[in-house]
Chains A and B, each alone.
Chain A
């Protein structure tokens, strides 16, 4: 059992699966930056949480439900949870864009489900992901393999945060989409063991007076014929 001080956010699992370094920058080093994608995502979630709980036909719909599991050490919020007559529970997570190749959305939904199962003392066999561009639900079945994968990711997350470990950066195509790229500076890793040598080269200058920097075109106006 984990104490309240040890609870980790469910959303960190998505960061972990996207990039372990991004996850560490956010959850170990507490860095954060917004870009278009994060802002859009937040607005979508705010919208999903908007509006009162309602009962339509035989379904009660709860929004922005807080979730917690002391057994798994997780805390989070579900966009929508449907409570069907007869005790069936269905979590629904809203996502911008289209289904991802990786399992991150399913793992996040599964982690929410594990919390719900513990809180409600029930079993949940399926839930849904709602993608913005598709505008319809994708069913997710919580079978043994997704549950197992989710548990392993939760363990990895806890290990990384407790060890205060920040993995080394690697430049990857997906860095383009990451709002933290400017804080992460993956390109500086090209020089990982070469900065000292790079510095030596920078400071090696000849007495040659033609060695004039050109990287910055800014002109101090010393050669003005007619001062303005």
Chain B
């Protein structure tokens, strides 16, 4: 895994994307502002009111570049993906496994146990770096509690009990989320996990980054030939990318949560970067949104060693590798799916 392709994020309301040869041109108020060759991209994410020419959509579909249309805050609206007739065999196998309760449970256990293990690792790393004795010990003892959840997830006998363990771990983990912040100021505390809409600033950041991660996972599924909509842990629901959501479980804490903490601890994002609406929903303003996207994109270029393949890769390619390993497992090339476990 040597190359790392880029995602183009378009956040300027009213921008128009069009095709010019084998390039995408971003035009704002009829002025061409940016021109990027398609072969350097693996995805385009349009946030807010962005228009896109049909010719560009066709070219992207052919080039394997996925386009996602999201609300300004990352809520999914629609996606353009190419026709993927190939891998009908792989997809059939995916459906067969998703229909079989034992297979589904087996695969879902991996997603959940890796999610808990990686959340636990985030707590431990933060505990190590913490200068506050109280926080340090709170983080350490919570990490200890989560050990039990990893075991429970590995041994879960039903999907419901597995989801129960997952929920319990998430509560445990988020209960000490504030302890991972160095400069706690009013209005910047984590309260409880809230989505649709996020009710505090940290939830707004988390939800935003989880959406970006989901876009990447969706592209990874498409590129691998998997059906992004048919998950194992996440039940089918029209419009919901079940398998993408399954795949991001391994990465939520490792990638998104740590990035949120870093942005806050380094004061790159502050209380004034959010709008609080009358209904209590908290939204990230436009300029800081760009800052978050730039940080996410930069983070994806960091190099780490893939724990299973033992090969250097970028953080951004991890989810692609996991999709491919899942495909290998479904196809019977390897005897089990190795989830991403950060160690």
Q: Which residues of A contact B (CB under 8 A)?
A: 28-31, 34, 164, 166, 168-169, 182-183, 185, 187-189, 191-196, 198-199, 202-203, 205, 207, 209, 211-213, 215-224, 227-228
Contacts and interface: CB of A to CB of B under 8 A. Distances in A.
Please report whether the interface of chain A is mostly helix, strand, loop or mixed according to DSSP.
loop
Interface stretch (B65-73, B198-206, B211-219, B301-309): B301-309
A215 B324 contact: no
Interface string B308-343: 111100010000010011001101011111110111
Contacts of B1: 182
Contact of B338 (A28, A30, A199): A199
24 contacts: A30-B87, A34-B39, A166-B333, A187-B311, A188-B308, A192-B335, A194-B335, A195-B337, A202-B117, A203-B113, A203-B150, A209-B124, A209-B144, A211-B124, A213-B124, A213-B342, A217-B302, A219-B129, A220-B180, A220-B258, A220-B265, A222-B182, A224-B182, A227-B267
A224 B265 contact: yes
A209 B127 contact: yes
Q: Which of B39, B299, B308, B325 has the most CB of A within 10 A?
A: B308
Given A191-B338, A195-B336, A203-B341, A185 B309 contact: yes
Contacts of B343: 202, 213, 215
A215 B113 contact: no
Given A194-B335, A196-B336, A205-B150, 12 more contacts: A30-B85, A31-B87, A166-B331, A168-B333, A188-B333, A189-B333, A191-B338, A202-B307, A202-B343, A203-B113, A218-B262, A224-B182
Given A213-B121, A221-B262, A223-B182, A199 B129 contact: no
A199 B265 contact: no
B335 A223 contact: no
A223 to B, nearest CB: 4
Interface in B175-195: 180-183
Classify chain B's interface size: 35 or more
Given A30-B87, A223-B130, A223-B131, A205 B266 contact: no
Nearest to A168: B333
B48 interface: no
Q: Which of B39, B125, B305, B331 has the most CB of A within 10 A?
A: B125
A28 B310 CA distance: 28
A221 B87 contact: no
**10 closest A-B pairs by CB:** A30-B86, A221-B265, A195-B336, A196-B336, A220-B261, A202-B341, A223-B129, A222-B129, A220-B262, A221-B266
Contact of A228 (B110, B128, B267, B321): B267
Nearest to B320: A182
Contacts of A212: 121, 124-125, 127-128
A71 to B, nearest CB: 28
Nearest to A29: B87
Given A187-B311, A215-B307, A30 B225 contact: yes
B23 interface: no
B342 A199 contact: no
